[in-house]
Structure 1
Amino acid sequence: MNKVILPICLYVLFYRQVLCGDVGPIGGFIRSNLVGHPVIHEEQSWIFDPDVALRRRKQFIELNGDKGDKLIERLGLGIDGYDEERLKIQRVRDEGHLGGLNALLP
């Protein structure tokens, strides 16, 4: 009985691959490991402007400060609505410190 079932199962699998247009296990291995999927070989075009950073530099500095110091401060305050309270606590904490470090301690 087992001698009959195995060839029938293999026949059904190969017949399904032919009907579906599959490349089979060997073809699938070659395509995925050696050649690559067809999506990898499609050409794509991207609109890229290398000078956009130079044009937007002034806007970034006005919004975030030089070197992004205002941006870093805003990120540290959070987005949950308690930013004013956190800013007051941080100002009290950092009073007398230079750049977050105590100038009097080593």
Structure 2
Amino acid sequence: FAVALGGEVPHQAHLPALVGDTHADAALGELAGCHLLSPAGPRYRLAAGVLAQLVAAGYEDEAATHARTAAQHYAWWTSHPSVTPQRAVAESDAIVASLARLV
């Protein structure tokens, strides 16, 4: 999903829903531990050069589908009554990135 979102990495709480794996949130720590992610405030982005390598390896082939899935997920999530404006703002870079791919 980070390739589809231009390098933005969704918060780990969203990863299981996005990829359909209940343990997907653990991957964030593994990727960060391998220096494939860089901290960007309270969230992560793909580390410098990683996005280009993933695109070259063909990971962008399904980017539009992944972006649409992310946009649909975030539309549902932001409309949920338990999601505060502050939580939506914290995830806004990934939300905007998912929509930008679709425009």
TM range, smaller chain: under 0.3
Q: Give TM-score, length-normalised by structure 1.
A: 0.23
Which has the higher Rg, Structure 1 or Structure 2?
1
- Structure with bigger strand share is 2
- For CA contacts below 8 A with separation 6 or more, give which structure has more relative contact order: 2
- Structure with bigger helix share is 1
